[in-house]
Amino acid sequence: MVFEFLNIRRYAFIIIDLTMNKPGFSSMTKILDKYELDETKQKRISREWQDYAYRLAVALDDTKHTAIYMRIVKTAPRELVEKAKSFVMDAGARSRGKMFMWKLKQLKEEERDKSV
C-alpha cells in the first residue's frame, strides 16, 4: 500500500491510500483540488456558518460584503438562504448580491404572510 501524508492547514494530517482505484471512489487530493481556498481571508473562520457564508459570498461574486452574508446565514433560516441562492444562480443576474438580497426579502415576507 502506498500512503501519502497531506498537511491540511497547519496541524491536521490526513493519510491517503493512493492505491484506492475502486469505481465510485476518488482520492482526497482530487476532492481537495476542487476547492480554491484563500488562506489569508479564511484564517478567522471557525464555525460552519462562517464557512457557508464565505462560500455564499464567493458563489455570488460579492466577497466585498462577506460580513453581511455572515449575519444573514447566522440569523435567517438556511432553507430561505438556499432558495434565494438557487434562484439567483439560475437567473444569471449581473448583480447577484442585489438579486440575492431582494429574493431573500421576498421569501421572508412570504413566510411572514403564511404565519399570519
pTM score of the predicted model: 0.62
Average pLDDT over every residue of 94-106: 95
What's the whole-number average pLDDT of the chain? Answer: 80
For 69, counting Cβ atoms within 10 Å of its Cβ (0-12 exposed, 13-18 middle, 19+ buried), the class is: buried
Residue 44's pLDDT is: 74
pLDDT tens for each residue of 53-90: 999 999 999 999 999 999 999 999 999 999 999 999 99
* pLDDT tens digits, 33-54: 776 666 555 567 788 889 999 9
